């Protein structure tokens, strides 16, 4: 114990029980503060200095649902082309309200190993990026908030086995049967710029997160150049606010 005390820092004296009690109390107060924020606020995790890491939020429940869906629809999914989309209305009763916009699932077009240790720290869904953006161009959930984006997908689309026929007809009319998709092309461009900005911010934070902090390599870094990306699939949340 004496050797451990000598090797430790001055703030964690294992021989001082009172000091340990103080450290435990301070940590509990910090965790209590985090839990209150999670309970009472709609958080943007990027803006919190003491925000939990991405790995603090388990996505296992979504992985289980995904595996079940893959087993039941494997042939259809393997044959499906990139860019498929669906149109859904915003739920009438949801807190907070879900605004019209789009949820994009984007993937790096180049064969880059985004599953490296650095890449996974910055984006647990690598090489895929989920972004929910409002019709006015405001990014509500960036790729750093995958659980919120997946919960939104569940809220608007879970259990829906057929298309909203009337809504799709209005969407086709608004987009000239898909010939005029300028609005959604603009939203994709805004989403890519948000991905680039958020990625750079998280990379800088990761560098100073500890001794193992590293900046992503040039190949791992992302840009807003649309030529670097594939649109895997997307969901149009279409309707009046």
Q: 226 and 154 in one domain?
A: yes
Q: What is the pLDDT of residues 64-77, one digit of tens each?
A: 888 888 888 888 88
Within-domain flag for 33: yes
* β partners of residue 108: 229
Same domain, 169 and 128: yes
Q: 126 versus 12: which is more confidently predicted?
A: 126
Could you give the CA distance from residue 189 to residue 21 in angstroms, rounded to a whole number? Answer: 52
pTM over 0.75: no
Residue 47 counted as domain residue = no
Average pLDDT on 67-95 reads 88
pLDDT tens for each residue of 6-59: 555 555 555 555 655 665 666 667 667 766 666 665 555 444 444 444 444 567
Which range of residues forms the domain containing residue 36? 2-6+13-41
- Per the structure, the count of domains in the chain is 2
19 with 115, same domain: the answer is no
Q: Look at residue 46 and tell me if it is in a domain.
A: no
Neighbouring-strand partners of residue 141 = 132
Helices (H), 80-226: 117-122, 146-157, 165-174, 182-207
Whether 69 and 183 share a structural domain = yes
| Segment 159-168, tens digit of pLDDT | 888 999 999 9
Query: Given this model, what pLDDT does residue 44 score?
Result: 52
């Amino acid at each position: 114990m004496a050797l451990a005390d000598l090797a430790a820092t001055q703030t964690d004296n294992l021989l001082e029980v009172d000091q340990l009690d103080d450290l435990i109390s301070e940590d509990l107060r910090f965790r209590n503060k985090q839990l209150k924020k999670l309970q009472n606020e709609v958080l943007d995790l990027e803006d919190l200095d003491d925000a939990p890491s991405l790995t603090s939020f388990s996505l296992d429940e979504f992985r289980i649902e995904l595996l079940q869906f893959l087993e039941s629809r494997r042939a259809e999914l393997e044959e499906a082309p990139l860019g498929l989309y669906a149109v859904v209305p915003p739920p009438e009763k949801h807190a907070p309200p879900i605004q019209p916009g789009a949820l994009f699932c984007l993937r790096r077009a180049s064969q880059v190993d985004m599953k490296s240790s650095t890449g996974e720290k910055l984006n647990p869904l690598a090489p895929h990026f989920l972004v929910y953006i409002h019709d006015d161009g405001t990014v509500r959930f960036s790729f750093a908030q995958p659980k919120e984006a997946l919960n939104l997908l569940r809220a608007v689309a879970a259990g829906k086995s057929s298309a909203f026929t009337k809504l799709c007809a209005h969407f086709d009319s608004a987009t000239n049967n898909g010939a005029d998709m300028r609005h959604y092309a603009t939203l994709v461009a805004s989403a890519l710029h948000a991905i680039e900005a958020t990625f750079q911010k998280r990379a800088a934070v990761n560098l100073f997160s500890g001794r193992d902090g590293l900046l992503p390599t040039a190949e791992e870094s992302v840009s807003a150049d649309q030529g670097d990306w594939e649109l895997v699939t997307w969901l149009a949340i279409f309707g009046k606010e």
